[in-house]
Amino acid sequence: MPKVVKFGGSSLASAAQFQKAGEIIRSEKSRKYVVPSAPGKQDSKDIKITDMLYLCYEKASSGRDYSEEWTFITSRYEEIISGLSLTLSLAKEFEIIRTQFEAKAGKQYAASRGEYLNGLIMAAYLDFEFVDAAEVIFFDREGRLDMEMTNTMLYERLSVLPHAVVPGFYGSDPNGRIVTFSRGGSDITGSLVARAVHAELYENWTDVSGFLVTDPRIIKDPAVIETITYRELRELSYMGATVLHEDAIFPVRSEGIPINIRNTNRPQDPGTLIVEDTCRHPRYTITGIAGKKGFASVTIDKAMMNTEVGFCRKVLQVFEENNVPIEHMPSGIDTLTVFVHQNEFESKEQKILAGIHRAVSPDFIELESDLALIAVVGRGMRQTRGTSGRIFAALSHANVNVKMIDQGSSELNIIIGVRCHDFENAIRSIYDIFVNTQL
Ligand SMILES: Nc1ncnc2c1ncn2[C@@H]1O[C@H](COP(=O)(O)OP(=O)(O)O)[C@@H](O)[C@H]1O
Ligand SMILES: N[C@@H](CC(=O)OP(=O)(O)O)C(=O)O
């Protein structure tokens, strides 16, 4: 059975990175289907080609001078081509793209060209067939992925090819217009390809040696998670662990295909295996910690609210009518708190407050902003008593004021609300108690 290998932007940012990817692909015959991203950052000060394409398109489509951005983009591809000593010329493609930019072909078309061009280079470098994602990945008129049509077309095209490169991140709609996934979406393409070809494994090659217990930008060299379940990963991805796009899990999950996160710069490392379920005990009580900033809370206080039938529904209806999604909703006897994304709530807050007053006549409502949510996730928590107690102890020791704690009914995760300015400190203290001291 074949393997599908997706290489992230950091793995394909230069000719040297392409060479590492090439060696990895050639070292195993089963690595038959390759999904490349657009060139990413070569160092922390660099700019991703995708970001530059958005910028370039904005200028080109509004009639401004875009030569600086254009040169940045084209010279990056030319450097890669000459660094790999390929005879390939992208001159024709560049000309088409330039014309399309000026003809206002759309932001999504613009962004997709990063993967398209990198795919052409990868196919030439490996001598694999190039399959344009616009011909095999389909979206409906509303921009939603058409999973069945995509699966059928991918299977039809790929099953007859010994090797192929399918660029990540985009597809097309019924009018033939290019549609992209949300940022980081090449991971989804990889997952769709893996599902369609019945891959034995979906390898996702990046710049870290697997899924780490927490964000390496907060903790230096965090421990690597050896094995994680799809459910645990989903919780962590949703809460901001960006290594894999949250929607990349569904296609492979439905086929029971494991995902292996690997490091292009350290191919000798085994990385993280993401599986349906496992008997293996996790190394620590918790599997991972992730979090996001930018939340606001609405606390509704009313004596005896718990006896009022329909109270929660009426409150939730106000948010629904204002089209504001709800993130969490912990409740007490006389209080109910609703967590929302601050940017989705701010412009509608007064309307929502008035709506809640009308709907449930609360004693008072309190708003708080600049909050962060942290998810502590782990299948091992179910068997271990006192996990929340340890989290509380760690946070109080670190002087972090806990605004909310909510244990999911699956006992797979505990969500903690803190102030934004306590976010990093809170993550460090939880990591410390479970991983460093292993109390
Ligand atoms: N829990 C985590 N484990 C690993 N990496 C994480 C985690 N949380 C955040 N990251 C960040 O995700 C990055 C990898 O994702 P991404 O930048 O999308 O890679 P790629 O360009 O290969 O697709 C890492 O470099 C790291 O900074
Ligand atoms: N290039 C796109 C899609 C993608 O998945 O990229 P990466 O694999 O580098 O996260 C982006 O930057 O969003």
Q: Are 77 and 115 in contact (CB under 8 A)?
A: no
Ligand 2: does its nearest atom lie under 6 Å from the Cβ of 183? yes
Pocket test for ligand 2, best of 46, 181, 183 (most atoms within 8 A of CB): 183
Nearest to 428 by CA among 383, 385, 376, 368: 376
What residues pair up with 415 in beta bridges, in sequence order? 375, 406
pLDDT tens column, 322-340: 999 999 888 888 899 999 9
Q: Is the pLDDT confidence value at 277 over 90?
A: no
Closest residue CA from atom 10 of ligand 2: 184
With contact defined as beta carbons under 8 Å apart, do 186 and 36 qualify?
A: yes
Find all residues with CB under 8 Å of 235, minimum gap 6, and list them.
Answer: 290, 375, 377, 408, 412, 413
pLDDT over 70 at 243, yes or no? yes
Of 33, 48, 50, 40, whose CA–CA distance to 17 is shortest? 40
**pLDDT of amino acid 33:** 98
Residue nearest to atom 6 of ligand 2 (CA): 184
Categorize the per-residue pLDDT at 437 as very low, low, confident or very high, splitting at 50, 70 and 90.
confident
Residue 242 pLDDT exceeds 90 = no
9 annotated as ligand-binding: yes
Q: Determine whether the annotation assigns residue 20 to a binding site.
A: no
How many angstroms separate the alpha carbon of residue 212 from the centre of ligand 1? 9
At 184, is the secondary structure helix, strand, or coil? coil
The tens digit of pLDDT for each residue in 69-92 reads 999 999 999 999 999 999 999 999
Ligand 2 pocket, residue 362 CB under 6 Å:
no
The 3-state secondary structure of 185-237 reads CHHHHHHHHHHHCCCCEEEEEECCCCCECCCCCCCCCCCECCEEEHHHHHHHH
Beta bridge partners of 364: 301
Asked whether the predicted pLDDT for residue 298 surpasses 60, the reply is yes
Closest listed residue to residue 331, CA positions, set 295, 306, 363, 313: 306
Answer yes or no: is 264 a known binding residue: no
ipTM > 0.90 (yes/no): yes
- Prediction pTM value: 0.88
109-134 pLDDT, tens digit each:
999 999 999 999 999 999 999 999 99
Give the mean pLDDT of 346-353: 94
**pLDDT over 90 (residue 408):** no
pLDDT above 90 (res 404) = no
What average pLDDT does the structure give for the chain?
A: 94
| Choice among 137-151, 164-178, 304-318, 378-392 with the minimum mean pLDDT | 378-392
CA neighbor of 373 nearest in space, from 282, 296, 288, 265: 296
Nearest in space to 362 (alpha carbons), one of 408, 316, 313, 311: 311
Residue 379: which pLDDT band, with cuts at 50, 70 and 90?
Answer: confident
Q: How high is the pLDDT of residue 158?
A: 98
Task: Enter the tokens of residue 122.
Answer: 């990868």
Share of the chain above pLDDT 70, in %: 99
The proportion of the chain whose per-residue pLDDT surpasses 90, expressed as a percent, equals 83
For ligand 1, whether the C-beta of 219 sits within 6 Å is: no
The pLDDT value given to residue 438 = 66
pLDDT reported for residue 303: 87
Whether the predicted pLDDT of 159 surpasses 60: yes
295 known ligand binder: no
Cα gap 84→65, rounded to integer Å: 31
As a whole number of angstroms, the distance between CA 180 and CA 140 comes to 12
**What's phi and psi for 199, nearest 5 deg?**
-65, 150
Q: Which domains does the chain have, with CATH numbers?
A: 3-275 (3.40.1160.10), 288-436 (3.30.2130.10)
Top mutation candidate among 208, 246, 263, 264 for ligand 1, by most atoms within 8 Å of CB = 208
CA of 232 to the centre of ligand 2 (A): 22
For residue 439, is pLDDT > 70? no
From the CB of 263, is ligand 2 less than 6 Å away? Answer: no
207 pocket-lining for ligand 1 (C-beta < 6 Å): yes
DSSP 390-420: HHHHHHHHTTPPP-EEEE-TTSSEEEEEEEG
pLDDT at residue 223 is higher than 90: yes
Q: What is the CA radius of gyration of the chain?
A: 24
What tens digit of pLDDT does each residue of 42-70 get? 998 999 999 999 999 999 999 999 999 99
In this predicted structure, what is the pLDDT of residue 199? 98
Residue 382 in this model has a pLDDT that exceeds 80 = no
AA identity, residue 212: L
pLDDT the model gives residue 332 = 80
Q: Name beta bridge partners: 201.
A: 3
| Lowest-confidence pick of 17-26, 160-169, 320-329 | 320-329
pLDDT of residue 9: 97
